[in-house]
Amino acid sequence: MTDPAVKRVVSDIIRSPEDKRVYRGLEFTNGLKAVLISDPTTDKSSAALDVHIGSLSDPANISGLAHFCEHMLFLGTEKYPKENEYSQFLSEHAGSSNAFTSGEHTNYYFDVSHEHLQGALDRFAQFFLCPLFDESCKDREVNAVDSEHEKNLMNDAWRLFQLEKATGNPNHPFSKFGTGNKLTLETRPSKDGIDIRQELLKFHSTYYSSNLMGLCVLGRESLEDLTSMVVKLFGEVENKNVPIPEFPEHPFQEEHLRQFYKVVPIKDIRNLYVTFPIPDLQKYYKSNPGHYLGHLIGHEGPGSLLSELKSKGWVNTLVGGQKEGARGFMFFIINVDLTEEGLLHVEDIIFHMFQYIQKLRTERPQEWVFQECKDLNKVAFRFKDKERPRGYTSKVAGLLHYYPLEEVLAAEYLLEDFRPELIDMVLNKLRPEHVRVAVVSKSFEGQTDKTEEWYGTQYKQEAITDEVIKKWADADLNSKFKLPMKNEFIPTSFEIYPLEKDSPPIPTLIKDTAMSKVWFKQDDKFFLPKACLNFEFFSPFAYVDPLHCNMAYLYLELLKDSLNEYAYAAELAGLNYDLQNTIYGMYLSVKGYNDKQHILLKKIIEKMATFEIDEKRFDIIKEAYMRSLNNFRAEQPHQHAMYYLRLLMTEVAWTKDELREALDDVTLPRLKAFIPQLLSRLHIEALLHGSITKESALGMMQMLEDTLIEHAHTKPLLPSQLIRYREVQVPDGGWYVYQQRNEVHNNCGIEIYYQTDMQTTHDNMLLELFCQIISEPCFNTLRTKEQLGYIVFSGPRRANGVQGLRFIIQSEKAPHYLESRVEAFLRTMEKSVEEMSEEAFQKHIQALAIRRLDKPKKLAAECAKYWGEIISQQYNFDRDNIEVAYLKTLTKDSVMQFYRELLAIDAPKRHKVSVHVLSREMDSCPVVGEFPAQNDINLAPAPSLPQPTLVQDMTEFKRSLPLFPLAKPHINFMAAKL
């Protein structure tokens, strides 16, 4: 097909050997580049467009314009003027969408049920052809941007991100404030007589040029059909020949180097950031010198920089490597967290960094290290999991600006040329005279003299003295530093075992004893040499009281800390483990290539059973845990709301305060005595899933049990000790409100929970269908139209076998106002369901069915589904098919009945619990109120609400109410055994 709109077609895109999808690259006459992906098996189709323009191109006097433009494009175009047309179309067809703005990119993406790619793509394409930038939308949406910034205001990551920009060259675009807020997008422009709508139109017409666009479309259609679809829609985008923005000058010039910054954080964190300006290394992607150096400096094995700093008791974690800047400049960073002792040795820590860099200079670049990185990447590319369409198209669209079409999928993986001279060139930039140092710690409070403009971060800047620079420059060789050893975890066997005959499609129980239950499933979908091993160790000692909960946490943190040197090699080789304490005991998972999996598993279990605690590490990790408990106060208001609701609704849950008070009681002797007690009686439930045989699964389980019995003398738990916590049952017509304040953020948070019933197929589907129907109208009403805040969410809440409908909002408006708006919205949904046509109702059923039947793309995702069934003890392994079959029998009447019985304001079985988190500035707030201003013609009237019961004491609240029973398992255990 030779269309005049297409200049070049590329059909030989390098792809992973296991990738069954087919690809085509297109270069349009108008300069747009596209990758089309035909996947006849995909459940969802997707598309993404990346514009190579971001907030570094904002006009100097309008911070945040690129980001505001991204928000506005969703809200109406000439062809589809209705403000929620795009989001409504996607919602009705099992789709979703999002976008992000960075310094150099604005990236828009969506997914949708595979039959509806054409309709979605048509609505999407208009963003780039004829957006409306409607005046009334603009006035409202500026609030969403402002709320988004407000959410980040007290977040240390955002504050440090902006501080780095603020301490470089103020005339460099790098120094701009990218998010924008009400001041920069409304107040200041209107004072200066600037029309923001005109500026948006100007920005879009200047920069949204086809030569800066990368497009990726994935669908079931053939490459021919996809080609004609995109040519028709995107061949018309105008090429304004905008040059790609380049920034050849580094934002850090001579006067910004050798500077030391003391920074006060919001949370009690202690970090050291060491940064060097380096040139843009993007063009060297085939040899990637920055990756080579990051691999060594960031290594965590024996002889590494981290190991030495840890053994000194100064740091716990280290990140090292190249960091993106923009076209024209980059950074090389070495970041560590600091212990209390480490804070006193910052100069020495940096001296060690320069010693390690010196070691790399004298060793010269090693070809075997490069070769190992190359091999690891090659294996990762060959066996990479299939991506989810939405994330995949978004990523590929962005990569089109950096790599030739042929290499766009492989470029980030495939290393080709070992170029020692480039490694030396970068190494030569990592010198004391180029360094910038920032230390973040609460201990600097009251010692600062500067305030960053946008976030108000307090800091002090000092020059690093010549003598310190000289000391660092004279860093000698330290005999403790060694290059990494050869990685023994790199897989060598990639064998896929033939499927056992009659292998069942769901996990089966292959062992059921007093000590353990083992579920097994051989992978029959992905056929990659990978497996997921999951283990839950039940012990009643793990959560008896806050003291035991703390000890279980510290035991596992110390265990992981001592395994880190050993397990780091496995992690590099694509073999990861996770270990954490749970309310029922401990959870362990080992995921990745199955070849050497049993080796890592054995090591973890041996260490678990024979663990000796190092006193120095105990003190350090206990102190870090104490800070993390204290730091919970600085989490987002909506997260606090979710936390308090969990405490209210669960039979047993220790609070952060209770854990904090009990932490002083955790002493080394106590912890040492606790570990054998924890391991003395266990019940283990496991799921082994992937490219493994039943024999090897049973063998691994046997090894695990034998190790625990031999070293920890583990015995089985009694069946009566396998307890499960239950959910509080709210009485009919009950409405409870719990209030708390967030001391850090100046925003309120609310979670409203309408408890419906226990989880059964019938109740699950009614609840999910109701959530599907209200989801898009909820966002459109409460965020887009009423602008209550950036975070507006509705959906099911499930815990302990019980469920209900929840709304979560974070807003500068008061909680009782949000409460009244949610009730007003809920009331409008009655009418809208009642008046809904049968066709529209069936669309919702179809959309939910497609969402639920969307196949997992990788082993870990499928495994997570099965594991969820096991830990909830529901064992409904074929849940999706069973529930969707039931969903298709639901009628509009059944949904109306569900609403009237459980959710309507006068519903006989309405059970409502609200958590109101007040903002830092609010002293108090009524729990319920009437708002005369709601007579505003655009606002749905709010029903008048009864007086709720105020929960003063959580324990009292729980004591006064009954508990639900536990959900029944879907499986007869006698029948489940093979």
Residue whose C-alpha is closest to residue 252's, from 135, 169, 130: 169
Which two structure tokens, joined as six digits, stand for 962? 């009954």
Distance CA 107, CA 97 (A): 11
Any idea what DSSP says for residue 652?
S
Whether 23 and 15 have beta carbons less than 8 Å apart is answered as yes
Distance CA 214, CA 405 (A): 11
Distance CA 384, CA 414 (A): 13
**Measured between alpha carbons, how far is residue 436 from residues 261, 323, 485 in Å?**
8, 14, 31
Three-class HEC string of 228-275: HHHHHHHCCCCCCCCCCCCCCCCCCCHHHCCEEEEECCCCCCCEEEEE
Check if 565 is active-site: no
Distance CA 443, CA 465 (A): 22
Distance CA 835, CA 831 (A): 6
Which two structure tokens, joined as six digits, stand for 351? 């001296």
CB atoms within 10 A of CB 83: 20
R_g of the chain, CA atoms, integer Å: 29
SS3 949: strand
Distance CA 908, CA 904 (A): 9
For 647, half-sphere exposure in the C-beta direction (CA atoms, 13 angstrom radius) is 20
Pairing of strands 436-440, 271-278: antiparallel
For 597, half-sphere exposure in the C-beta direction (CA atoms, 13 angstrom radius) is 29
CA 455 to chain centre: 23
Q: Which of 18, 27, 70, 623 is catalytic?
A: 70
Residue whose C-alpha is closest to residue 150's, from 456, 398, 608, 369: 456
Could you give the angle at which helices 838-853 and 761-778 cross, rounded to 10 degrees? 110
Report the sign of the C-alpha dihedral through residues 112, 117, 118, 121, in that order.
Answer: positive
Residue whose C-alpha is closest to residue 537's, from 426, 735, 685, 320: 685
Q: Which residues are catalytic, by number?
A: 70
